[in-house]
């Protein structure tokens, strides 16, 4: 990923001050070790499932949460699963990877609540909704191989959590502007902070050492960089975010359904007619997002 995400380019600007402040934050959220271990293991398709299961089970708290999620009605399994290995055999390694990532992210940033008027529950519902829509479109369009669309969706707006946690006074001003001028948070952030949740989120994702395509999706989902080799992921998230907003799945902080950039349709080889055709299935995915949120935050 480009190393200039967090490099101030103008001295004494609000932007520079914000970037310096973020760099100095000592308690930025960290992902559990099990997350990095599982990501590394799964990059090698030859890793035996029982090794992945053992790695996950080394963290009992994560294991408990994973089994709880797997046994929720979200997966609709006929019998209760009581081991991670059994879960991998039944659901496949990719699904388990997604569950590990979601659970890890929720453990890192999902629980705390800051009193800044930013509705975290609605925010996570939005994020999971975007993740499920992105996973559906990713499969239909044959992009990627590892269901990373789901994760990209879950974390695309993670920068808003950083703003909520560390820049809460500025967030109050951003939300005021969103309400008064009926603009997107993305635009209000740039007026107040001179930087958006995209760059801030990409900073955190880089610290977490997430794969480049995920960092790119976070960084560019509001403005596609067609030159980027990962433009498909950012495009996938731009469109999934718009669909989630159209159907009012939770809230990303404002209620505006953003325009889709023309490049997105070309990059994804997608048309509005195709979306129309898949509409019922997409709504089915949205239904699942409500159940999934309940399982993750319970
Ligand atoms: Fe966003
Ligand atoms: Fe969003």
Tens digits of per-residue pLDDT, 202-230?
A: 999 988 888 888 999 999 999 999 999 99
Q: Tell if the pTM clears 0.95, that is, is over it.
A: no
User: pLDDT higher for 117 or 79?
Assistant: 79
Q: How far is the CA of 10 from the centre of ligand 2 (A)?
A: 28
Q: Hey, what are 123's tokens? A: 């925010």
Q: How do the domains of the chain map onto residue ranges?
A: 31-111, 113-298
Q: How far is the CA of 260 from the centre of ligand 2 (A)?
A: 13
The CA distance from 85 to 54, in Å, is 8
Q: How far is the CA of 130 from the centre of ligand 2 (A)?
A: 7
Q: How far is the CA of 153 from the centre of ligand 1 (A)?
A: 10
Q: How far is the CA of 237 from the centre of ligand 2 (A)?
A: 8
Q: Hey, what are 138's tokens? A: 């990713």
Q: How far is the CA of 293 from the centre of ligand 1 (A)?
A: 19
Fold of 113-298: Hypothetical protein af1432 (1.10.3210)
Of all ligands present, the nearest one to the C-alpha of 219 is 1
Q: Hey, what are 229's tokens? A: 């080799």
pLDDT above 50: residue 190: yes
Of all ligands present, the nearest one to the C-alpha of 160 is 1
User: pLDDT higher for 129 or 298?
Assistant: 129
Q: Could you report the per-residue pLDDT of 46-89, keeping only the tens digit for each?
A: 999 899 999 999 999 889 888 988 887 667 788 899 999 999 98
pLDDT at 2: 44
pLDDT at 183: 95
pLDDT at 1: 43
Q: How far is the CA of 60 from the centre of ligand 2 (A)?
A: 32
Q: Hey, what are 281's tokens? A: 């299935």
Distant-in-sequence, close-in-space partners of 115: CB < 8 Å, separation ≥ 6 = none
Cα 6 to its chain centre, rounded Å, is 20
* Alpha carbon separation from 277 to 244, 268, 273, 280 (Å, rounded): 17, 16, 6, 8
Tokens 């001179």 label which residue? 194
Q: Could you report the per-residue pLDDT of 143-169, keeping only the tens digit for each?
A: 875 567 888 999 999 999 999 888 989
Q: What is the mean pLDDT of the chain?
A: 87
The CA distance from 279 to 276, in Å, is 5
pLDDT at 298: 61
């Amino acid at each position: 990923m480009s190393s200039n995400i967090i490099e101030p380019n103008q001295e004494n600007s609000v932007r520079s001050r914000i970037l310096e402040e973020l760099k100095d934050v000592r308690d930025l959220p960290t992902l559990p070790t099990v997350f990095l271990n599982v990501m590394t293991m799964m990059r090698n398709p030859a890793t035996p499932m029982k090794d992945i299961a053992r790695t996950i089970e080394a963290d009992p708290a994560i294991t408990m949460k994973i089994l709880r999620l797997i046994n929720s009605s979200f997966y609709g399994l006929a019998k209760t699963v009581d081991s991670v290995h059994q879960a991998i055999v039944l659901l496949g390694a990719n699904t388990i990877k997604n569950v590990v990532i979601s659970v890890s992210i929720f453990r890192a940033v999902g629980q705390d609540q800051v009193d800044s008027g930013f509705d975290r529950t609605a925010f996570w519902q939005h994020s999971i909704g975007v993740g499920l829509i992105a996973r559906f479109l990713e499969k239909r369009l044959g992009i990627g191989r590892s269901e990373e669309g789901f994760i990209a969706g879950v974390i695309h707006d993670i920068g808003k959590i950083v703003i909520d946690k560390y820049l809460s006074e500025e967030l109050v001003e951003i939300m005021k502007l969103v309400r008064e001028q009926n603009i997107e948070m993305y635009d209000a952030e740039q007026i107040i902070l001179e930087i958006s949740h995209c760059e801030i989120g990409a900073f955190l994702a880089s610290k977490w050492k997430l794969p480049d395509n995920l960092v790119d999706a976070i960084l560019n989902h509001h403005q596609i960089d067609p030159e980027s080799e990962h433009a498909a992921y950012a495009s996938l998230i731009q469109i999934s975010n718009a669909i989630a907003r159209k159907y009012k799945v939770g809230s990303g902080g404002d209620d505006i359904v953003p325009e889709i950039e023309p490049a997105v349709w070309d990059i994804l080889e997608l048309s509005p007619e195709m979306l129309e055709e898949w509409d019922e299935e997409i709504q089915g995915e949205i239904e699942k997002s409500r159940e999934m949120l309940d399982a993750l935050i319970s």
